[in-house]
Amino acid sequence: MATATPDLMATGAALPVAALTLAALRRRISPEAGRALEKLGHAIEYLIDEYVHSDGFLTARDPRVEAVQLLISINREIYFSCPVVQGPVDRFRGWLRMRGA
């Protein structure tokens, strides 16, 4: 399967520590937030598909591009408002720290 982005692991490119930390975080998404994220995802996908299939030129001031950017920012806002869940490795490390103290 071809992708537009290079496979960072295959190329040996180093990822920034912040990217690795953010990728490892898990969030507890409520049913309401999950539905909102799903609806926003469908709306974003629809607008992008509509834009790709139209014969318009890509400009930053295009209202459709601005609408997609707005929906993406709302999507991020909802996602990052969900609480972070501590993973099993973090719980184990915390347990080890408590035992060593």
Per-residue pLDDT tens digits of the chain, which is 101 residues long: 333 333 344 444 454 555 545 556 789 999 999 999 999 999 999 998 888 888 767 777 888 889 999 999 999 999 999 999 888 887 888 888 888 76
**Do 65 and 51 form a contact (C-beta atoms < 8 A)?**
yes
C-alpha to C-alpha distances, 19 to 8, 14, 25, 64, nearest whole angstrom: 12, 10, 10, 29
Structure confidence at residue 23 (pLDDT): 55
Domain ranges for the chain: 29-100
pTM for this entry: 0.63
Q: Which amino acid is at 20?
A: L
Structure confidence at residue 8 (pLDDT): 40
- Angle at which helix 63-81 crosses helix 31-53, to 10 degrees, equals 160
Structure confidence at residue 92 (pLDDT): 85
| Rounded distance between C-alpha atoms, residue 18 and residue 3, angstroms | 24
